[in-house]
């Protein structure tokens, strides 16, 4: 008998529509001969299942089920592809834990840590991972232009400490841009990160592990046509994404081994993607860890799966079956 899979998308941040695109990608990747698939769209307290006829029906949050005509359908597994709260920060993971429904990605603690960029980077710094110098501002806190220039320097990045897809991110080059950039970042999240700019090669590397194997994908080199890897670069093609990256075998191996180590340190599950900047002297610096990476057909992970000579359908089966 086929297992029934919920592909959970949407969420409560600016990445709502990005998440829906990832859901369509995952829907196309999963083996429909093995599984019955439904996309579950969440936004606030609106939880709805997309039905084959194009209509939507509400989810019963008491047991994560829905009615299909006179039949009650219960989900056997949730593939979480919400980029942002509540699917990337541990909240939805806690719900599924209480419902005893297995899911695709990290548990509550790892999700909560990785969703907060400052917390995650400072945590991994204690394990010897290199990170940029940074300052954290919480809602109601402020920092002077002089402190930013003295402690972090210019240029720098000012961005939400929570969230993704480069919403609310500014590359700041002048003193006059600092405060407007902080205001912009606070529009996306209640915590803002002021982070030193690092000159170098941007790389990203995906990884997943099951009970019996570790799979680390070839890294991708990210060459943006813009000031940085912003929303237009990510989703409107203003970037060159080169997989595998144009780096030495030795550096490739170091990036892959660091990605695997970060996976284990954080206690990750499912597919993650780790972003880096390689600076002078081939020093590998962590940018951030993504525990629910984008999964459209052109996203990094599907590119890396292809470059590794793997079938994305098999990877999806690995992720699902590993939880049973």
Q: Which residues are annotated as a binding site for Mg(2+)?
A: 275, 288, 290
244 upstream amide cis, omega within 30 of 0? yes
Q: Which residues pair with 7 in a beta bridge?
A: 39, 79
How many Å apart are CA 170 and CA 204, to the nearest integer? 20
How many Å apart are CA 271 and CA 178, to the nearest integer? 35
165 is catalytic: yes
How many Å apart are CA 13 and CA 83, to the nearest integer? 8
Closest CA to 241 of 273, 208, 202: 202
Of these residues, 15, 88, 202, 241, which one is catalytic? 15
Are the C-beta atoms of 114 and 133 separated by less than 8 Å? Answer: no
Residues 6+ apart with CB under 8 A from 264: none
How many Å apart are CA 315 and CA 321, to the nearest integer? 10
Q: Which residues pair with 39 in a beta bridge?
A: 7, 50
In eight-state DSSP terms, residue 55 is -
Characterize the bridge pairing of strands 283-290 and 272-279. Answer: antiparallel
How many Å apart are CA 73 and CA 180, to the nearest integer? 49
In eight-state DSSP terms, residue 100 is T
For residue 152, the SS3 value is coil
260 is catalytic: no
Of these residues, 19, 165, 166, 269, which one is catalytic? 165
Residue 309 to residues 126, 138, 305: CA-CA distances in angstroms? 35, 44, 7
What φ, ψ does residue 141 adopt, rounded to 5°? -90, 155
Numbered residues of the known binding site: 275, 288, 290
Of these residues, 19, 104, 166, 299, which one is catalytic? 299
By annotation, the residues acting in catalysis are 15, 165, 299
């Amino acid at each position: 008998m086929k297992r029934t899979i919920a592909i959970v998308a949407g969420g409560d941040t600016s990445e709502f529509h990005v998440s829906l695109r990832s859901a369509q990608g995952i829907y196309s990747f999963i083996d429909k001969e093995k599984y019955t698939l439904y996309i579950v769209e969440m936004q606030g307290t609106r939880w709805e299942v997309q039905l084959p006829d194009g209509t939507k029906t509400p989810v019963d949050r008491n047991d994560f089920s829905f009615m299909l005509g006179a039949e009650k359908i219960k989900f056997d597994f949730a593939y979480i592809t919400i980029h942002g709260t509540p699917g990337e920060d541990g909240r939805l993971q806690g719900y599924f834990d209480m419902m005893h429904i297995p899911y695709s990605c990290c548990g509550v603690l790892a999700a909560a840590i990785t969703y907060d960029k400052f917390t995650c980077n400072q945590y991994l710094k204690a394990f010897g991972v290199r990170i940029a110098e940074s300052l954290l501002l919480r809602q109601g806190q402020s920092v002077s232009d002089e402190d930013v220039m003295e402690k972090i320097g210019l240029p720098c990045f000012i961005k939400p400490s929570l969230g993704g897809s480069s919403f609310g991110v500014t590359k700041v080059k002048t003193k006059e841009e600092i405060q407007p950039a902080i205001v912009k970042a606070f529009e996306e999240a209640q915590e803002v990160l002021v982070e030193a700019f690092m000159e170098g090669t941007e790389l990203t590397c995906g990884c997943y592990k099951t009970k019996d194997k570790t799979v680390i994908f070839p890294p991708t080199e990210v060459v943006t046509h813009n000031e940085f890897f912003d929303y237009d670069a990510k989703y409107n093609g203003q970037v060159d994404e080169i997989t595998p990256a144009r780096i030495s075998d030795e550096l490739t191996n170091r990036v892959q081994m660091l990605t695997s180590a970060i996976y284990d340190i954080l206690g990750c599950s499912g597919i993650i993607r780790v972003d880096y900047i390689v600076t002078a002297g081939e020093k590998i610096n962590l940018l951030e860890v993504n525990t629910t990476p984008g999964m459209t057909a052109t996203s990094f992970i599907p590119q890396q799966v292809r470059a590794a000579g793997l079938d994305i359908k098999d990877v999806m089966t690995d992720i699902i079956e590993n939880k049973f």
